[in-house]
Structure 1
Amino acid sequence: MGKCLSCFHVRSTEPLPSISDSSFVDTHVNKQEAGLSSELASHQDSSFVADNTNHFDKTVSPMSNGTSKTPYTSTSKSNSSSIASMQRPLRSSVHSRSRQSNDIGNGPTLSTVSETKINTLFEKYRDKDCTDEDCILADGIEQMCNDLNLSPDDVRILVLAWKLEAQQMCKFTKQEFVNGLKAMNVDSIKDIQSKLPELVNKCRDNAEEFKSLYRFTFRFGLDSSCGQRILPSDMAIILWKLVFSIRVVCDESFVLTAWLNFLAQHTHVVRGIPRDTWNMFLTFYDTIGDDLSKYDDTEAWPSLLDDFVEYQTDKSNQNTSDTTNRNKAANGTMNQTG
């Protein structure tokens, strides 16, 4: 990945969400337990019930890992033993079904993601010549993209870098790679392939997720090795096309197309994009309308956005004037002919 970023299209389908019925399960089990407690009270004297109720309540409380504590068993009362034996399969079987339901279709669970497998995956792509630190560089990232069946300039690779919290383009440190895949709850190429479309869909449908990715993209495009703080215009154009491809087809968005054309035609003047301009363009895009009709020059927009609107308005007026003149000329010709 790098300045080869050029064209981007995402085609993915949104995965079906998993449905957890744990709240129903717990309610159902509590009702069963209440019935058992009532049965116990009807068959035993009140002193026995008072002595054993606390034990009964404690034994059926699930532990943090989803298992149950060993039921309390009294040797002095035969009914206590039989009821305790009924409690354990009821609670454990219901919670087992609940856990199985939650795990279906979600890939590895947090408890099954293997850090060993992640480390092995990292070693596969690690740059063997890098002596400063363990990291994956351009060649390793390209190999990883090949294994994922993705182009390095695919927006899903940008999403992956975002989830790894990568600090620099064309470089994944071991800490970023390991912690990022653990946070994504994946430990194999197959898992990553399945996860990325889900993350892309989430960014498309959730404004806050997209905003987080969008702001990451600016920092990701900077050359941190030289302390760069302003994104070069050519790189900004590439990254704007890339990140917005999640939400729109760039050529079909008037504002985005006009904005990028404006920058491309004025690179001799607009040499770079500051962070504030990058961040504010997203707000600008979402609020001013596709025909710039909602633009308000009293708003505190960055000056470059004001210049863009002025340029686009002048261009539109010029086009209107040219059209009017052509129509007049055509009408004059027709009158002379007549």
Structure 2
Amino acid sequence: MKNASRTKASVSLMRDRNLSNSSVPAATRPTGPAAKGAVTLFVSKSARSDMELVFDRLHALDKSTQSDTISGKGLAQFFCEVSVEASSLECMVLLWKLGATQQGCITRPEWLLSMYANGIESVAQLRQKLGEWVKDVRESSGAFLLMYTYMYDYIRGEEDRRMTRTTAINGWDVFFGQNKRYAKWKTWAVANLTGDVSRDLWRQLGIFLTMDTDATQSSDDQVLALSWPSAIADFMETDNLPAS
């Protein structure tokens, strides 16, 4: 009798365990597509962390810096790896997309935020993305002006409240080097523009130089109808374009 009781108890216990296991939701044991998705997510996160290692490697190249940034030799190496020259439109687009705010460096938060936001998992992928960004900036005046306006603070530098004329001209050379009207503006600015370049003048000049004044008379009239900063208005008078 005792053996029979023990047998019944053992069978009952096994039944309870089986019922307990079968009650576990299937979602906790992903299989098929769900399992594949979980693996993909893990791989993606792991791959993106590789860009953190890239940051660490570039950061370590400039041993003089005390901040958690890519600067000096590290920044030069970074530009080399993504195939851009320091003073080029491509470089400005890259810094814009990285959210760089301090001249000559990229901070870790800026780097990581940009990599995660754009889904960049390797330097090769960053080069590919950069090509797409540059193409967009070249083809869209709206995208160009967003980038150009954003870069005021970076080009100006942290130590200056306003951008010096020399710094501004160096920046304009990068952005508008192929612009015919800019060639006239630069000649005028070197001789007549005094003082620093404000954020508003920087922004308005971008609008002024990207408007297609030679396409149609209506475009030209649109330029004349706008209210421009005094520096641009003075330039327009010398360029035989009366300001409103």
Say which one has the larger Rg: 1
User: In structure 2, do the counterparts of structure 1 residues 149 and 275 end up closer, same or farther at CA, with 3 Å as the change threshold?
Assistant: same
- 1:38-76 Cα shifts (integer Å, max 9, x gaps): xxxxxxxxxxxxxxxxxxxxxxxxxxxxx579xxxxxxx
Contact 1:110–1:185 (8 Å) recurs in 2: no
Q: Give the letter aligned to residue 58 of structure 2.
A: Y
Hey, what's the Cα distance between the residues in 2 that align with 1:111 and 1:179? 19
Matched, 1:302 2:229: yes
| Shift >3 Å, 4+ stretches | 108-111, 290-295
**CA offset at residue 290 of structure 1?**
4.0
Matched, 1:265 2:191: yes
Match of residue 144, structure 2, among 197, 201, 210 = 210
Matched letter for residue 232 of structure 2 = L
Return the structure number with greater relative CO, CA threshold 8 A, min gap 6: 1
Contact 2:51–2:122 (8 Å) recurs in 1 = yes
The one-letter code of the counterpart of 1:154 is: S
Instruction: State the secondary structure of the residue aligned to 1:230.
Output: coil
Deviation at 1:306, TM superposition (A): 0.8
Q: Is the aligned partner of 1:313 residue 2:237?
A: no
- Contact kept? 1:136, 1:173, Cα under 8 Å: yes
Aligned residue-pair number? 201
1:115 paired residue among 27, 48, 58: 48
Q: Which runs of 5+ in 2 are unaligned?
A: 1-32
- Which residue is 1:233 aligned to? 165
Instruction: Report if aligned partners of 1:254, 1:290 keep a CA contact under 8 Å in 2.
Output: no
CA contact (8 A) 2:48 2:120 kept: no
CA contact (8 A) 1:217 1:243 kept: no
Query: Matches of residues 14-25 of structure 1 in structure 2 within 5 Å?
Result: none
1:254 matched to 2:188? The reply is no
User: How far apart, CA to CA, are the structure 1 residues paired with 2:103 and 2:41?
Assistant: 30
Structure 2 equivalent of residue 185 of structure 1: 119
Gaps of 5+ in 1: 1-66, 70-91, 97-107, 245-249, 315-338
Aligned-pair CA distance for 1:117: 0.3
When normalised by structure 1's length, the TM-score is 0.53
Q: Distance in 2 between matches of 1:169 and 1:263?
A: 24
Secondary structure of 1:273's aligned partner: coil
* Structure 1 position 160 matched with structure 2 position 94: yes
Aligned mates of 1:236, 1:111 — CA distance in 2: 45
Aligned-residue CA RMSD in angstroms? Answer: 3.0
Describe the shift of the 1:68–1:151 C-alpha distance in structure 2 as closer, same or farther (beyond 3 A). closer
- Contact 1:255/1:290 (CA < 8 Å) preserved in 2? no
- Contact 1:135/1:174, CA 8 A, preserved across alignment: yes
1:281 — aligned with what? Answer: 205
CA distance in 1, matches of 2:124, 2:214: 39
Secondary structure class of the residue paired with 1:136:
strand
Amino acid corresponding to residue 256 of structure 1 in structure 2: Y
The amino acid that maps onto 1:242 is: V
CA offsets 1:150-171 (integer angstroms, 9 cap, x no match): 2211222211111111111111
Q: C-alpha distance in 2, partners of 1:229/1:304? A: 19
CA distance in 2, matches of 1:265, 1:138: 34
Which AA in structure 2 matches 1:112? S
Q: C-alpha separation between the residues in 1 aligned to 2:189 and 2:139?
A: 28
Q: TM-score, normalised by structure 2?
A: 0.71
Q: 1:110 to 1:230 in 2, by over 3 A?
A: farther
In structure 2, distance between residues paired with 1:115 and 1:184: 11
What is the CA–CA distance in structure 1 between the aligned matches of 2:237 and 2:95, rounded to whole Å? 36
2:23 aligned residue: none
In the alignment, residue 260 of structure 1 is paired with which amino acid? K
Which residue is 2:11 aligned to? none
- 1:124 equivalent in alignment to 2:36: no
Q: Of 127, 138, 158, which aligns to 2:72?
A: 138
More helix by share: 2
